[in-house]
Amino acid sequence: MPHMIFIEHDGTRREVDAPVGLSVLEIAHKHGVDLEGACEGSLACATCHVVVDPEWAPKLAEPTEDEEDMLDLAFGLEKTSRLGCQIVMTDALDGLVVRLPRTA
């Protein structure tokens, strides 16, 4: 099974199992990682904002226009910011690293 690494607000690295087909948001919830996802992954908010490690960003599909629109609402936006609900785990993403941005 693939795995991924969450870097939490305090810098703690958490390596977790990441089943293929689940979104980063779903994986976070499965492992008790503090990633909100207020709209439950329906692409209607930006509360699942994550910052993808720069080495991994080119390996992801480009964000859709809808995702970019929602990211405009996110606090602390960075060049590799994405919505966790829009990154779906595949075998090719085994080892993916994302950081939870600091909140306001």
Q: Can you give 59-75 as a three-state secondary structure string? A: HCCCCCHHHHHHHCCCC
- What single string gives the DSSP state of each residue in 20-88? TT-BHHHHHHHTT-----TTTTSSS-STTEEEE-TTTGGGSPPPPHHHHHHHTT-TT--TTEEEGGG-B
- Ordered domains of the chain (ranges, CATH): 1-97 (3.10.20.30)
Q: Is the dihedral of CA 28, 33, 39, 40 positive or negative?
A: positive
Q: pLDDT above 90 covers what percent of the chain?
A: 94
pTM confidence score: 0.95
Per-residue confidence (pLDDT) for residue 98, from 0 to 100? 98
The pLDDT tens digits of the residues spanning 35-80 come to 999 999 999 999 999 999 999 999 999 999 999 999 999 999 999 9
Position 3 pLDDT exceeds 50: yes
User: How many Cβ atoms are within 10 Å of 4's Cβ, its own excluded?
Assistant: 22
Per-residue confidence (pLDDT) for residue 104, from 0 to 100? 46
Per-residue confidence (pLDDT) for residue 96, from 0 to 100? 98
Position 83 pLDDT exceeds 90: yes
- Cα–Cα distance measured from residue 40 to residue 43, given in angstroms and rounded to the nearest whole number: 8
* Residue matched to tokens 């207020």: 38
